[in-house]
Chain A
């Protein structure tokens, strides 16, 4: 026959969405908070982000190249990892720190466990936590340069969340409005709840994520904080609650890192359970733990629970247990 026809198993049509496109959408959704961070903290923040993204992609390429594997940098997942890592850096960090973080994230956490889809915890957060433990001083130094546009906490000069931890919400603390807008101290990408929420809307509109994990995460966290306020004798304090919700890494973590596909249960019920556990663990770390922050550790801790959550939340197959009439 003069005309050769393709043959394949059904179905013969495919959705247009690809892994690469999903990753690109995540990058686009991260742009508002990235741009805000650069505006807020100055050019060094941009350098940190560029170095972080660049080194992540480089390590991915190097690993593929030397292990004789197909080149996977075109799927943009290394860009996402590098960008998230960069956004989790203090703005004035020495540039070799994100490079080291990228190496840990890409080579150890991701590639050595089998590459994309096989990492057991979020590479960017694992990289960050490695740096937090190894270089605690540098990673928690949120001092700002002269280009800084935000407000400095009048009381302690620390991040709003650290101030909150040290003395609770006081009138002289940074106003909640600033926490929401983001002109405060913190890591490059976590400060502006508004910019992060704009990104979240992008993810939701393009159906990259759904609301299950972020809402259960933020919701259970808020409930726990409210219960803490009521039972610790502090009484309900709206400003305290909002400072916890908009301060620190909760927004970035809930919308962009807890929703990481690979380290989230695939089962719908599991995602709800996962979000609830995340909220509680984060609140426990923040309220009772040694440091003001808790999101990063909470997420990588819960990443480890994913297999067991999945096991107990397998959906009931359609018609299973149906009664014969």
Chain B
């Protein structure tokens, strides 16, 4: 059998050797903690504390702002300094709760539970209470994802350990160092879906993780490790579902429509902690890497930690660092300031000595079709970008512009160095905005 894969995709330089051999280290923050109220998809959270309040580790500091929203918990003990607008990693200003860390780490009492004693409703409640969101980057509230209309129709729970973004090694280290937690988290999720099988999906560039998890699922009748081909964007939801189950979803469908639920390995671990240990999301693994940083590292980071501290903990930027990216090089956000907080969805800080984007000279499209051949959405990026530049919303939609998943393959491969993804992304935003108006 050939390796599980999809049509399209690219093979960029993966840079993982910079940080993959560094075990996860706990980093304890020094400065103030910043908790954005919006670190998930959906309504912003609503503050549950006020200036001057004393908070403990694990205390809820903001309530979910609706069903599609998530609570936020303090990761330190200390005093609330205020609630104010701060810059976050995506470049926008977001209301944040600021907490002065007293360095004591006095914690609230967590209430562990046994999976046998919990009903499905209780499991979902504990996930919701823990503020668990998709930690692969999107930040979709997990309790919503795990509560589809008809749970009995879910056939596959996919644990996304592909980590197809170049440079990132946080999921890799997680799978290598704490694979038991992933198995336990998956066990919790499988309890929600009576007819589902659990697939742990890992790219074949991580054979050590595959071997480790295969050993652990040996006696699990409902779990399987699926080795998928190393190719970006293998870890994209649509590509992963197709590669492992042969099912296709488009932009208007949810994975549940084809009987699938997809969650990142870090999310699965968060589910484990929230349900079995009673601990909310207060930390995550962040890779600090790239050729622009002195000592690439993998850290366990408390949410709310300032990114500048992490950069310093990794030896600081090299003098000629040109670009710092929150996330991976394909889908991450370039930062112009380093004082942004780590959130539940921060997977990495990538520091690059060279910025190929600013060095690239944009030239005319020569119709070579490379963008078409790499597009996992099977659309025509070159044409869509032209429509976007002409502001032709109608043609853009007719040519399936809304099926673009913004993975960035087209911009990466374009020999004329045209910013195809950027044009298409902007147009997609305009189309979505105009649809909301109607």
Chain A interface residues (CB < 8 Å from chain B): 1, 3, 5-15, 17-19, 21-22, 72, 75, 77, 115-118, 261-262, 264, 266-268, 271, 314-320, 322, 324-325
Report whether B369 and A266 are in contact in the complex, using a CB–CB cutoff of 8 Å.
yes
Report whether A12 and B323 are in contact in the complex, using a CB–CB cutoff of 8 Å.
yes
5 A-B pairs with C-beta separation under 8 A: A11-B408, A117-B364, A268-B372, A319-B248, A324-B257
User: Do A8 and B355 contact each other (CB < 8 Å), given the known contacts A261-B369, A318-B378?
Assistant: yes
User: Do A116 and B366 contact each other (CB < 8 Å), given the known contacts A6-B357, A8-B357, A318-B238?
Assistant: yes
Report whether A19 and B366 are in contact in the complex, using a CB–CB cutoff of 8 Å.
yes
User: Do A116 and B329 contact each other (CB < 8 Å), given the known contacts A7-B336, A18-B417, A22-B415?
Assistant: no
A14 to B363, CA, bound (A): 14
A116 to B357, CA, bound (A): 22
Report whether A319 and B250 are in contact in the complex, using a CB–CB cutoff of 8 Å.
yes
Q: Is B12 an interface residue (CB 8 A)?
A: yes
Q: Can you name 15 extra interface pairs (CB under 8 A) apart from A11-B411, A267-B380?
A: A3-B321, A6-B355, A8-B323, A8-B355, A13-B12, A14-B411, A22-B415, A117-B367, A314-B399, A315-B372, A318-B403, A319-B250, A319-B403, A320-B403, A322-B250
Give the contacting residue for B372; candidates A19, A267, A319, A324; CB below 8 A: A267
* Interface-located stretch among B98-106, B281-289, B297-305, B418-426: B418-426
Q: Closest CB of chain A to B368's CB: distance in Å?
A: 4
Chain A residues whose C-beta falls within 8 Å of the C-beta of B383 in the assembled complex: 266
Chain A residues whose C-beta falls within 8 Å of the C-beta of B12 in the assembled complex: 13, 15
Chain B residues whose C-beta falls within 8 Å of the C-beta of A75 in the assembled complex: 363
Q: Is B166 an interface residue (CB 8 A)?
A: yes
Q: Is B253 an interface residue (CB 8 A)?
A: yes
Give the contacting residue for A116; candidates B352, B363, B379, B408; CB below 8 A: B363
A75 to B364, CA, bound (A): 10
Report whether B249 and A6 are in contact in the complex, using a CB–CB cutoff of 8 Å.
no
Chain B residues whose C-beta falls within 8 Å of the C-beta of A319 in the assembled complex: 238, 248-251, 253, 403
Q: Is B313 an interface residue (CB 8 A)?
A: no
Report whether A8 and B372 are in contact in the complex, using a CB–CB cutoff of 8 Å.
no
Chain B residues whose C-beta falls within 8 Å of the C-beta of A262 in the assembled complex: 366-367
Q: Closest CB of chain B to A13's CB: distance in Å?
A: 5
Report whether B367 and A325 are in contact in the complex, using a CB–CB cutoff of 8 Å.
no
Per-position 1/0 for B402-419, Cβ under 8 A of A? 010010100111111101
Chain A residues whose C-beta falls within 8 Å of the C-beta of B368 in the assembled complex: 22, 261
Report whether B258 and A322 are in contact in the complex, using a CB–CB cutoff of 8 Å.
yes
Give the contacting residue for B334; candidates A1, A6, A264, A318; CB below 8 A: A6
User: Do A118 and B248 contact each other (CB < 8 Å), given the known contacts A8-B355, A266-B382, A325-B153?
Assistant: no
Report whether A318 and B377 are in contact in the complex, using a CB–CB cutoff of 8 Å.
yes
A69 to B399, CA, bound (A): 32
Chain A residues whose C-beta falls within 8 Å of the C-beta of B329 in the assembled complex: 10-13
A115 to B257, CA, bound (A): 47
Chain A residues whose C-beta falls within 8 Å of the C-beta of B416 in the assembled complex: 18-19, 117
Identify the closest chain A residue to B419 (Cβ).
A9
Interface centre among A3, A266, A319, A324 (most CB of B within 10 A): A319
Per-position 1/0 for B377-390, Cβ under 8 A of A? 11110110000000
Report whether A5 and B322 are in contact in the complex, using a CB–CB cutoff of 8 Å.
yes
**Beta-carbon contacts under 8 Å, B344-388 to A:** 350, 352, 355-358, 360, 363-370, 372-373, 376-380, 382-383
A13 to B330, CA, bound (A): 7
Chain B residues whose C-beta falls within 8 Å of the C-beta of A7 in the assembled complex: 91, 323, 334-336
Report whether B357 and A318 are in contact in the complex, using a CB–CB cutoff of 8 Å.
no
Chain B residues whose C-beta falls within 8 Å of the C-beta of A11 in the assembled complex: 329-331, 408, 411-412, 421
Q: Is B204 an interface residue (CB 8 A)?
A: no
Chain B residues whose C-beta falls within 8 Å of the C-beta of A10 in the assembled complex: 329-334, 406, 408, 411, 421
Report whether A9 and B425 are in contact in the complex, using a CB–CB cutoff of 8 Å.
yes
Q: Is B261 an interface residue (CB 8 A)?
A: no
Give the contacting residue for A5; candidates B13, B251, B336, B360; CB below 8 A: B336
User: Do A15 and B413 contact each other (CB < 8 Å), given the known contacts A10-B408, A315-B372?
Assistant: yes
User: Do A15 and B378 contact each other (CB < 8 Å), given the known contacts A261-B367, A319-B238?
Assistant: no
Identify the closest chain A residue to B426 (Cβ).
A9
A117 to B416, CA, bound (A): 11
Identify the closest chain A residue to B403 (Cβ).
A317
A5 to B400, CA, bound (A): 35
Give the contacting residue for B250; candidates A115, A315, A320; CB below 8 A: A320
Chain A residues whose C-beta falls within 8 Å of the C-beta of B293 in the assembled complex: none
Report whether B366 and A325 are in contact in the complex, using a CB–CB cutoff of 8 Å.
no
Chain B residues whose C-beta falls within 8 Å of the C-beta of A320 in the assembled complex: 250, 400, 403
Report whether A12 and B325 are in contact in the complex, using a CB–CB cutoff of 8 Å.
yes
Q: Closest CB of chain A to B358's CB: distance in Å?
A: 5
Interface centre among A15, A264, A271 (most CB of B within 10 A): A15
Q: Is B278 an interface residue (CB 8 A)?
A: no
Give the contacting residue for B415; candidates A18, A115, A118; CB below 8 A: A18
Report whether A322 and B382 are in contact in the complex, using a CB–CB cutoff of 8 Å.
no
Report whether A3 and B366 are in contact in the complex, using a CB–CB cutoff of 8 Å.
no
Give the contacting residue for B412; candidates A13, A115, A261; CB below 8 A: A13
Report whether A318 and B332 are in contact in the complex, using a CB–CB cutoff of 8 Å.
no
Q: Is B159 an interface residue (CB 8 A)?
A: no
Q: Closest CB of chain A to B150's CB: distance in Å?
A: 10
Identify the closest chain B residue to A8 (Cβ).
B357
Give the contacting residue for A12; candidates B91, B352, B403; CB below 8 A: B352
**Across the A-B interface, the 8 shortest Cβ-Cβ residue pairs:** A319-B250, A11-B408, A317-B400, A317-B403, A9-B422, A319-B248, A117-B364, A261-B368
A11 to B378, CA, bound (A): 19
Q: Is B324 an interface residue (CB 8 A)?
A: yes
Q: Is B317 an interface residue (CB 8 A)?
A: yes
Identify the closest chain B residue to A14 (Cβ).
B356
Give the contacting residue for B249; candidates A12, A15, A18, A322; CB below 8 A: A322
Identify the closest chain B residue to A262 (Cβ).
B367
Chain B residues whose C-beta falls within 8 Å of the C-beta of A5 in the assembled complex: 321-324, 334-337
User: Do A14 and B417 contact each other (CB < 8 Å), given the known contacts A262-B367, A324-B257?
Assistant: yes
